[in-house]
Amino acid sequence: MHGYVSKGPQSMIGLGYRTRSRRFSLHRFALLTGLIVCMAGIPQETNARPLSVRLDRWLELRNFSGNVDFFENGRWRQAQVGQRLDAVGEGVRTGSASLARLAVDTEVGFVSVSENTSLTITQFHSTPRNGKVTELNVTRGQARVFVRPFTNPDSRLEIRTPAGVNGVRGTNFGIAIQPSGRSSLVVEEGRVVSEAQGQSVPVNAGFQNFTVPGEPPSPPVPITEDPNLNLVRLERQRRQGESIVVLEGNTFPVNLLVIDDDTQEIDRDGNFALELPLPENRSIDVTVVTPLGTMQVYELVVP
């Protein structure tokens, strides 16, 4: 893939557009509290499930920016710092240009939630031997997880997506969900096991993979961690008396492509071909987001 990463305003004569970009990192946002944690072990499965014991379990909102809502007691409400989620079915959602940082229990770990992301608690209990069982469902968007090693063999943490399950083994990792449900996983530290369609694929530190709904996880490959956008076509056309923009290009297949706050589907090779309404100002904002939360914003000027 030959592309570019814009460092500032540029003029691309061949395609007739300028780009303006800036970088963000959820990693920096996650370090605002001055804590870095690494994480968890998953016990071997047995046929018998231990009896669940309801103890003091919670996710606490430590800090946030932008528009963040909590779902609790059957309705959505604006979130506040210090607010806790403590029951199955409760969750959090973020709006455009919004971030949230959640602490898991007694700082066993943290979850950093990026913009336009939905997260719900699907399992949240303690075992008779005081093991902590946490299962979170991320249906869209991007999140990053930091969890320290569990000392109790009954403890486990799993992140579910529309495509499968990611079981944590003491790690620092990120996920990103395409509109189709295809999920990307990038492991920076530790190890995560991707599970789908009865198959398990371990992903070690320094590697990434993705899982398509209805398919087993892909083999791991080295991390790209690059919000590069390679634009191959940007032009204005007339269709049935209206002006549209034809936009084609590619990025790394684990990334998210967001155009004017709407996440667009890219194929498993990272390619996209879109037709969009022509904005009055001829400017289109495109954001590329990696599973670890690095963002780069491009301003495309339609010729």
What is the pLDDT tens value at each position of the chain, 303 positions in all? 433 334 333 333 334 445 454 444 544 444 444 433 333 333 343 344 443 444 578 899 999 999 999 999 889 999 999 999 989 999 999 999 899 999 988 678 899 999 999 999 999 888 888 888 889 999 999 999 998 887 788 888 899 999 999 988 678 999 999 999 999 999 999 999 999 999 999 999 999 999 999 999 999 999 999 999 999 999 999 888 889 999 999 999 999 999 988 999 999 999 999 999 999 999 999 999 999 999 999 999 999
CATH of 37-222, one of 1.10.3720.10, 2.30.29.30, 3.40.50.620, 2.60.120.1440: 2.60.120.1440
Per-residue pLDDT at 106: 67
Which tokens is 155 given? 């403890």
Cβ neighbours of residue 159 closer than 8 Å, sequence gap 6 or more: 135, 136, 137, 138, 143, 145, 165, 166, 168, 175
Per-residue pLDDT at 176: 97
Q: Where does the chain hold its CATH 2.60.120.1440 domain(s)?
A: 37-222
Answer yes or no: are the C-beta atoms of 278 and 200 closer than 8 Å: no
Helix, strand, coil share of the chain (percent; to 5): 0, 50, 45
CATH of 10-25+225-301, one of 2.60.40.10, 3.40.50.2300, 3.20.20.20, 3.40.50.720: 2.60.40.10
What is the value of pTM for the model shown? 0.79
